[in-house]
Amino acid sequence: MADPTIFSYELLDDEGLKNSTSLYMAYDGVTVTEAEMEAAWVAYGALIDPCIDPQILKGAITIPLQAPTETWKQTPAVGNNVNQVMNLNFNNDFNNYATSILLPGYKESILGLTRLPDLTDPALSALIAAILTGEPSLLPAFFPNSRDLHDLNALRDAFLTVRKVRNQKRHTVVTP
């Protein structure tokens, strides 16, 4: 089965409990505009609403993308696993909340002698610069923001952590 586009709706009941429902959609991605897709999401919500008691609070449209570009690596490199994470926290001018950008499976080569992220590493500094100023080839169309849509203006801190990954193996088996 191909990866479908998903229309999702967040629901709130009279006791304050939230749940969601989703519809898997097929469409001609070549001819459908973003406005038409949003109109379809609203129209299907209007069909769902009279069938349920909860209120529709909001929703999302998840659009699957094609296979990665051939310029990216085609197989995983040997190194860190995805549970080993570099956390880059960014500030904005609007509030004191940090916006985290996570890099699961970070490369060991971008760590300094102190085993902390080396912010002068060319690859890492290029990523941080693009997050703060936008990717030049895409400006002004796309630029990273906080969850509240405030521009990110400075790197607050960077550190390493380990995060649990769902469906991890319960035990690590080491073979001689």
Give the total number of structural domains in the chain. Answer: 2
Q: Is residue 149 situated within a structural domain? A: yes
Predicted confidence band at 171 (pLDDT cuts at 50, 70, 90)? very low
Same-domain pairing of 41 and 111 = no
Q: What's the whole-number mean pLDDT along residues 71-94?
A: 88
152: in domain: yes
Dihedral sign (CA 42, 43, 44, 49): positive
pLDDT of amino acid 3: 67
For residues 68-95, one letter each, b for 16 or more C-beta atoms within 10 angstroms of the residue's C-beta and e for the rest, the string is eeeeeeeeeeeebeeebbbbbbbbbeee
Same domain? 24 vs 91 = no
Copy the structure tokens of residue 41: 């999401």
Q: Is the dihedral of CA 111, 114, 116, 122 positive or negative?
A: negative
Domain that holds residue 125: 84-162
Would you place residue 172 in the very low, low, confident or very high pLDDT band (cuts 50, 70, 90)? Answer: very low
Question: How do residues 102-160 score in pLDDT, each as one tens digit?
Answer: 999 898 889 988 889 999 999 999 999 988 887 766 656 667 888 888 889 999 999 99
Q: What is the mean pLDDT of the chain?
A: 85
142 vs 131: CA distance, rounded Å: 10
Higher pLDDT, 159 or 164: 159
Same domain, 88 and 48: no
β-sheet bridge partners, residue 90: 99, 155
Residue 11 within any structural domain of the chain? yes
The predicted pLDDT at position 168 comes to: 52
pLDDT score of 1: 37
